[in-house]
Amino acid sequence: MTTRIIAISVLLFLPLPIVIVVLSSFTSAGYLSFPIKGLSLRWYGEFLGSADWLRVLGTSALLAFIGATVSTAASFAAAWAVVRHRIRFGATYETILLTPLIFPHAAIGVIMIVTLSSVGWLGTFTGLVLVHCILTIPYAYRPVAAALRKADPALEEAAASLGARPWRTFWQVSLPAVRPGLVTSLLFSFIISFDEVTVTMFLVGPFVMTLPVQVFSEVLESASPVIAAVSATLVLFTTVMVFLLDRVIGIQFFVERD
């Protein structure tokens, strides 16, 4: 009984602040206050009419897209070597790929400042892409490696023995077999990159800024409801990604162990 009460409260508690942010973004007042003064879309107008906000949104989307693509491709290649070539120390290599997960974000932020400034990439888009690839590899690796383990190598051997060239076998046999895993890796690392803030805020500069970091600095400085509208847009992106992930692989994916 106690379990049930705690569980239901927690399940209501988790989405609560997100729901409140989305609801408060529709206020018509010049500042956030409760009860909400009236409904309007004026803060969405302000957000979408601002060249600054739109540029930052574009940067974040492009960064997440490139980061997710690169780290999924790198993870796929690594998984192929570990699973299909059965390299020695494969399990150790997989553990190394997960190391960014066991470091506190504030420390990773300083590590990346040291790294990027030594090659002059601090405050550049290229630098952010590099860092987001490192941060998303642990998330990209697991789904694609799991898919590769499930796929049957005999199919590839069959295609090869029927005379298919290696590239044709890859495109028409291997790739379709792991497609759900690849799409999951892409979507998962896209979300992680798009929402990342703690490490990224050490690395942005006057020439490059991401949406979550911009939201963070605005919350520190002002109380304008435009932040609520931008936050609601971030929530919308996540909603779309979670919906797609659920369609591609199912929500149980997150609580499965391989």
Partner 1 sequence: MPKSLRTALLLAPSALLMGVFLVGLYRLVHSSLVIDGQFDFSQYSAILNRPDYIAMLGRTIRIAALTTLLSLVIGFPTAYYVARYGGNRNFLLLLIVFPWLVSIVVRSYGWVVILGPRGLINGLLIWGGLTDRPIKLMYNDFGVILGLVHVLCPFMIIAILSVLMQISRSLEEASMSLGGRPAYSFRTVLLPLSLPGILTGITLVYLMATGAIVTPLLLGGLGDTMLGTEIFQEVMHFFDYPKAAALATVLLITALAVVIPIQILEHWVARCLSDGADQ
Distance between CA 174 and CA 165 in Å, rounded? 12
Decide if 70 contacts 136 (C-beta within 8 A).
no
* Residue 7 in contact with partner 1, rule: CB under 8 A: yes
- Span near partner 1 by CB under 8 A; candidates 39-47, 142-150, 157-165, 240-248: 240-248
- Judged by beta carbon, residue 20 or residue 158, the one nearer partner 1 is 20
- Span near partner 1 by CB under 8 A; candidates 40-48, 110-118, 147-155, 171-179: 110-118
- Within residues 34-53, the interface with partner 1 by CB under 8 A covers 34-35
Decide if 225 contacts 29 (C-beta within 8 A).
yes
- Backbone phi and psi for residue 204, each to the nearest 5 degrees, phi listed first: -75, 170
The pair of structure tokens assigned to 75 is: 């993870």
* Residue 1 in contact with partner 1, rule: CB under 8 A: no
* Residue 257 in contact with partner 1, rule: CB under 8 A: yes
The pair of structure tokens assigned to 80 is: 């192929």
* Residue 133 in contact with partner 1, rule: CB under 8 A: yes
Decide if 97 contacts 138 (C-beta within 8 A).
yes
The single residue listed with the structure tokens 């994916």 is 253
Tell me the number of residues near partner 1 by CB under 8 A: 92
Question: Residue 129 CA to chain centroid, in angstroms?
Answer: 12
Closest CA to 80 of 143, 179, 149, 181: 149
- Within residues 70-109, the interface with partner 1 by CB under 8 A covers 70-71, 73-75, 77-78, 80-81, 85, 87, 93, 96-97, 99-109
- Which strand (E) or helix (H) includes residue 215? helix 211-221
- Span near partner 1 by CB under 8 A; candidates 3-11, 43-51, 153-161, 169-177: 3-11
* Residue 240 in contact with partner 1, rule: CB under 8 A: no
- Span near partner 1 by CB under 8 A; candidates 41-49, 51-59, 173-181, 219-227: 219-227
- Shortest approach of partner 1 to residue 140 CB, angstroms? 10
- Within residues 143-202, the interface with partner 1 by CB under 8 A covers 191, 194-198, 201-202
Question: What is residue 211's three-state secondary structure?
Answer: helix
